[in-house]
Amino acid sequence: MQPVTESNGYVERFTLGEGDLCFAVKDTLDIAGYPTRAGCQALAASQAAQQHAEVVKTLLGQGCALTGKTTLHELAFGVTGINPWSGTPVNPEFPDLIPGGSSSGSAAVVASGEVDFALGTDTGGSVRMPAACCGILGLKPTYGRLSRVGVMPAYSSLDCVGLFARDADVLRQVLTRLAIPVGAPLTSLPAIGFIPTATIGIDSLLLNALAQLDLRPQQVELPLLGDAHRAGLTLISHENWQAFSPFLSDDRVSADVATRIRAGESIDADALNTAEHIRQTFTAQVDAQLKTTPLLALATLPELPPTLEEAKDPLSVVNLTRLVRPFNLSGHPALTLPAGTLHGRPVALQLIAAKGQEGLLVQAAEWLAERRRR
């Protein structure tokens, strides 16, 4: 594979299987006969995988056709989706904006209509963020709900295989094929708690959009939301140092990603213990709130997605994951769906449900879509 700077999202095109739904997968999931390179030159000479990742094997056995592998932010460790080696996907509806990371290619091929759905991975928002940037749906299931066998890195206490689609009905079909039940369409939504923590303009747009559907959620707080974001950063930094430090023996990992990987070396036992304590406390806080309001709603991104030019400054993107990463820490399922535009840039609504309740999130997305069509 030769270095490229612009991409439609794919790094490998092929066809495996037959069926009524076609999909693509992020190049951190193994596909038998193809190398897993994770958008990184250090893995350019990797040997072909011997077997499919478990989740891919299941989908191929359930009437889905695989069309190829998609590019990503290098080693799935970044939020912009910019990758000068394996390609930066063009954001189909918002070409001046970042496609979002790390599962940028998977989001792009769904948003462009090339496939019905795609697989990505979400360690700190890496499905929900590109979905929000590209104006599509992105689902992070409950931690451990979908198998990570055959997914890079082999171990993560945060990462989940997630799904992209343009509409909720496709998510329903895919979850059903993955043996995750989705109940009958809802006639009304359960109580919603809204967490106002994005910019005033974004939160106002989201609340107005809900009000137009006769939804006036209760305002709630998760006091540890910020601490959970920081704890998630601590854990991903530590775990990525363990997984990827062997690749740093030369300069084949880009400088910015290498710097972030090396930062994990300095995380000590006290920092890890503090992060795990916040994980337990924040998880209990979310669980308690969901008993009162079975759905939590908040912005997916706290700010509008930046342009490709703006994203060249690392400081401009540092906080973009602060509303998605906490739910990787807690392990709750989360879904992002498009909610409109502000100043020509997409705004997305994030819904959170109790663990094991991916079906409720899809039902809620279906209900919201149906109400908008009326």
In this predicted structure, what is the pLDDT of residue 3? 43
Task: Tell me how far apart the alpha carbons of residues 237 and 254 are, in angstroms, rounded to a whole number.
Answer: 16
What is the average pLDDT across 88-96?
97
In this predicted structure, what is the pLDDT of residue 313? 81
- The pTM of the whole model exceeds 0.75: yes
In this predicted structure, what is the pLDDT of residue 29? 98
Collapsing DSSP states into helix, strand and coil, what is residue 72? coil
pLDDT digits (tens, 9 = 90+) for 256-292: 999 999 999 999 999 999 999 999 999 999 999 999 9
Task: Tell me how far apart the alpha carbons of residues 326 and 363 are, in angstroms, rounded to a whole number.
Answer: 23
Q: Which domains does the chain have, with CATH numbers?
A: 4-373 (3.90.1300.10)
What is the average pLDDT across 329-334?
98
pLDDT digits (tens, 9 = 90+) for 227-255: 999 999 999 999 999 999 999 999 999 99
Place of tokens 């939160």: 203
pLDDT digits (tens, 9 = 90+) for 120-163: 999 999 999 999 999 999 999 999 999 999 999 999 999 999 99
DSSP 74: G
Q: What is the largest CA-CA distance in the chain?
A: 58
Task: Tell me how far apart the alpha carbons of residues 148 and 54 are, in angstroms, rounded to a whole number.
Answer: 7
Collapsing DSSP states into helix, strand and coil, what is residue 234? helix
pLDDT digits (tens, 9 = 90+) for 29-76: 999 999 999 999 999 999 999 999 999 999 999 999 999 999 999 999
H-helix segments, the chain: 54-60, 104-111, 128-134, 168-177, 200-211, 225-244, 255-263, 269-292, 326-330, 358-373
What proportions of the chain, in percent to the nearest 5, are helix, strand and coil? 35, 20, 40
The type of residue at 247 is F
Determine if the peptide bond prior to 153 is cis (ω within 30°). yes
DSSP 316: G
Whether the CB-CB separation of 282 and 228 falls below 8 Å is answered with yes
Ramachandran class of 161: left when φ > 0, alpha when ψ lies in -120 to 50, beta otherwise: beta
pLDDT digits (tens, 9 = 90+) for 174-232: 999 999 999 999 999 999 999 999 999 999 999 999 999 999 999 999 999 999 999 99
